[in-house]
Amino acid sequence: MKTPSSHVFILDPQRRAKLTKPAHLRHHWSVVFVIFCSVVATLSLVVLATLLYDIFAHGTGHIWRSSEGSLGQRFSAFFSRWSAFLSNPPSQSADNAGIFPSMLGTIWVCAVCGLAALPLGVATAIYLEEFKPKRKLLRHFHGFVQLNITNLAGVPSVVYGIIGMTVFVMMFQSPGDVQSPVLEFGINGIYDQYESEGLRMLRVPVESRDAEVTALQDGMTVYDAQGTPKELNLIAVGERVPDDRELRRRTLIAIPDGPPRSRYIDEAWYYVRIPFGRSVLAGGLTLMLVVLPIVIISSQEAVRAVPDSLREAALGMGCTRWQVVRKVSLPASIPGIMTGSILAMSRAIGEAAPILMIAGVVYIKSPPGNLMDSFTVMPLQIYNWASDSHREFHDLAASGIIVLLAILLVFNASAVIIRQKFQKNLG
């Protein structure tokens, strides 16, 4: 006997069939849905496989196809092309173009970015997690910072690029520019640079950036590209160029308005100037803005994972707040902070949009020599090649992507290893 009070039972079979589907249909539908879900979920694997296939087919296929001969010869040609790709500067011809300057550019920029973002990010995370204030005003500040960081993490990187361009590259339209900086430090010398008849650089020292051209005189001391002093051999127009190689290398022809020259600034490795211009420092600091929220959020999570019992034990033994941080929570959360930081840096390595705003589309032949040098990074070089209208540069872009992905793989693998090796269970 069924009692209506225990549960509702619809007696009319037609109404019941309308309200509830038959059980076997519901179960069929459920099985279909689970299968559908698993098929859709596999789609991400398929997409990943297609992506990698497309890149490897473009990035290695052209090298393999262009090599000839026996299998051994083809392999050696394949590897010599790859080593050339890793050590050559970019070039107009796709056959000997390489990625070397942009690889070093990436290292420089990411070093600047890491050195700036890590201390700042970890300090902010420690402040937010370990120094929760008691006073009302400071508590509001605390909550505001937290909300603000969530918002900063959502700001598109291209907006950070435009901010970096205004703040670091142009310094709010400060009066100077790259050619005549407001302030500079670390110049070894300023020279007028000539190309001699023996195709060697000859440098004549001058006083300042905008000084008059020093008049050339026969027998005056000039410097070559290595900085060794030499005696200038000035000959008149129409005079025979000497046959002796060494003499020809320090020979200039005295054309009436002076031989073609350019002003050369010998910058030390610690050269700094204001404004920064489109330089490594500006690029690194801009990337710092991009990854700072990521570093803060991941460090916060790492510090939060340290159980309160450890802190309370240290506080109970008479430690001050800072001593607790330095001796207890920071050592315990270092693996987590490192993992998060490495992942943030791998984001920085792959970031192209803000760097494109800072560095512009430029052709860079040599790696940066100081913080004020112009530069390019790997994603930007890849972008340049991929946006080229010639198909063979697309293959170069794919080769560059393979190198970039390999570097990212190393970074992510080290993050995983650190996480697994050093993360102790403190709970």
Partner 1 sequence: MSASASRNPRNRAVQSFQEFWIKTSLWLSAAFSIALTVVILLILLGEAWRFFADDSITFGEFFGSLEWTPTVGSTPESKSFGVWPLVCGTLIVTVIAIGIAVPLGLVTAIFLSEYAPRRVRAFLKPALEILAGIPTVVYGFFALTFITPSLNWVHRLFFGERGFGAFNAASAGIAVGILCLPIITSLTEDALRAVPRSLREAAYGLGGTRFEVAVRVVVPAALSGIVSAVLLAVARTIGETMIVALAAGSTPRITADPREGVQTMTGFMVQIAGGDFSNFGIEYLSMYAVAAVLFAMTFALTLLGHRIRVRFREAYQ
Report 271-310 residues binding partner 1 (CB under 8 A): 289, 292-293, 296
Asked whether position 363 contacts partner 1 by CB under 8 A, the answer is no
Choice between 279 and 346, CB closer to partner 1: 346
Nearer to partner 1, 29 or 422 (CB): 29
Q: Is 5 in the site for partner 1 (CB under 8 A)?
A: no
Under rule CB under 8 A, residue 412 binds partner 1: yes
Tell which one of 65, 139, 321, 390 touches partner 1 (CB under 8 A). 321
Cβ neighbours of residue 1 under 8 Å, at least 6 residues apart? Answer: none
Shortest Cβ distance from residue 256 to partner 1 (Å)?
A: 34
Q: Is 370 in the site for partner 1 (CB under 8 A)?
A: no
With both helix axes pointing from N to C terminus, report the angle between 100-130 and 280-304 in degrees, rounded to the nearest 10: 40
C-alpha atoms less than 13 angstroms from C-alpha of 49 in its C-beta half-sphere: 5
Residue in 167, 247, 265, 305 binding partner 1, rule: CB under 8 A: 167
Bridge-partner residues for 192, per DSSP?
Answer: 204, 263
If one asks whether residue 38 binds partner 1 (CB under 8 A), the answer comes out as yes
Residue 209 near residue 263, CB atoms below 8 Å: yes
13 binds partner 1 (CB under 8 A): no
How many angstroms separate the CA atoms of 280 and 375, rounded?
6
Among 426, 250, 402, 254, residue whose Cα is nearest residue 335 = 426
Binding range to partner 1, per CB under 8 A, among 65-73, 187-195, 255-263, 318-326: 318-326
Cβ proximity to partner 1, 144 vs 422, nearer residue: 144
Nearer to partner 1, 84 or 163 (CB): 163
The reply on whether position 54 binds partner 1 by CB under 8 A is yes
- Which pairs count as long-range contacts for 386-393, CB under 8 Å and 24+ apart, including other chains? 390/94, 392/62, 392/94, 393/94, 393/97
Whether 92 and 363 have beta carbons less than 8 Å apart is answered as: no
Using CB under 8 A as the binding rule, whether residue 137 contacts partner 1 is answered as: no
- 330 is a site residue for partner 1 (CB under 8 A): no
The yes or no reply on residue 398 touching partner 1 (CB under 8 A) is yes
47 belongs to the binding site for partner 1 (CB under 8 A)? yes
382 binds partner 1 (CB under 8 A): yes
6 touching partner 1, by CB under 8 A = no
Which residues are within 8 A (CB) of 258 and not within 5 positions of it... i.e. 6 or more apart? 213, 216
Instruction: Compute the distance between CA of residue 402 and CA of residue 58 in angstroms, rounded to an integer.
Output: 10
Q: Which tokens belong to 155?
A: 């700001």
Measured distance CA(167)–CA(171) in Å, rounded? 5
